[in-house]
């Protein structure tokens, strides 16, 4: 299956998360933040749509990482260097921008055990009981992989508690701003940028 978007043809398969509204919102927001030759890491690259569109439309150098082996392979097939790994655990070096479209659906364990199909698509969706399980892990580790004045560009949902995520980022010394939003029937998607600061910043809003 193919998607044509912004000078890019993206291939994807049933074993990776199908590009959806969140993917397009995040890639548009990311493009607005990229100014030149930034070193970029996309965590949870999925099909590679975000990385491939960035590669085709900017001069940035981008690498993808995903725990799903089919996603890492799909991203490579779409022309972007990618590795298989669990969040930032196997990444070396520093990046100017780290992009993350996290698994953010709150999934209660008892329900998941009873009803969910255990496959790679559910891995891409399952955010734990409050939707923030992987987000919190990512935020705690990301600072060590950011260059000076490096930024996180992350998509979050009202289902996971946007204010709770903002507060976590501020506590970790990020200046936080919202750069894009889109509302759907059951949730609001927001793209936030966190800039790593040396001292605890005030949270910024547009």
Pull the structure tokens for residue 91: 């990444």
Cα gap 180→182, rounded to integer Å: 7
Of the candidate CATH numbers 3.30.499.10, 3.90.1150.10, 3.40.50.2020, 3.40.50.150, the domain formed by 2-196 belongs to 3.40.50.150
Cα gap 153→77, rounded to integer Å: 24
| Residue 72 CB coordination number (10 Å) | 23
* pLDDT one-digit tens code per residue, 99-144: 999 986 666 454 444 443 357 666 656 656 776 889 999 999 999 9
* pLDDT one-digit tens code per residue, 9-27: 999 988 898 899 999 999 9
End-to-end CA, the chain: 37
* pLDDT one-digit tens code per residue, 156-200: 999 898 999 999 999 999 999 999 999 988 889 999 999 998 765
């Amino acid at each position: 299956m193919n998607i044509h978007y912004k000078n890019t043809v993206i291939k994807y398969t049933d074993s990776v998360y199908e590009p959806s509204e969140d993917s397009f919102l995040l890639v548009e927001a990311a493009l607005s933040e990229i100014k030149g030759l930034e070193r970029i890491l996309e965590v949870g690259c999925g099909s590679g749509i975000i990385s491939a569109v960035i590669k085709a439309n900017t001069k940035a150098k981008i690498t993808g990482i995903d725990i799903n082996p089919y996603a890492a392979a799909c991203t490579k097939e779409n022309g972007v260097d990618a590795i298989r790994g669990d969040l930032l655990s196997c990444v070396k070096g520093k990046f100017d921008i780290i992009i993350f479209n996290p698994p953010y659906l709150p999934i209660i364990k008892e329900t998941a055990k009873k009803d969910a199909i255990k496959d790679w698509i559910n891995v891409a969706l399952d955010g734990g009981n409050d939707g923030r399980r992987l987000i919190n892990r990512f935020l705690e580790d990301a600072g060590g992989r950011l260059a000076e004045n490096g930024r996180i560009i992350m998509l979050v949902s009202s289902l996971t508690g946007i204010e709770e995520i903002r507060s976590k980022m501020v506590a970790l010394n990020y200046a936080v701003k919202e750069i894009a939003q889109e509302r759907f029937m059951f949730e609001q998607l927001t793209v936030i940028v966190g800039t790593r600061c040396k001292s605890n910043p005030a949270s910024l809003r547009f």
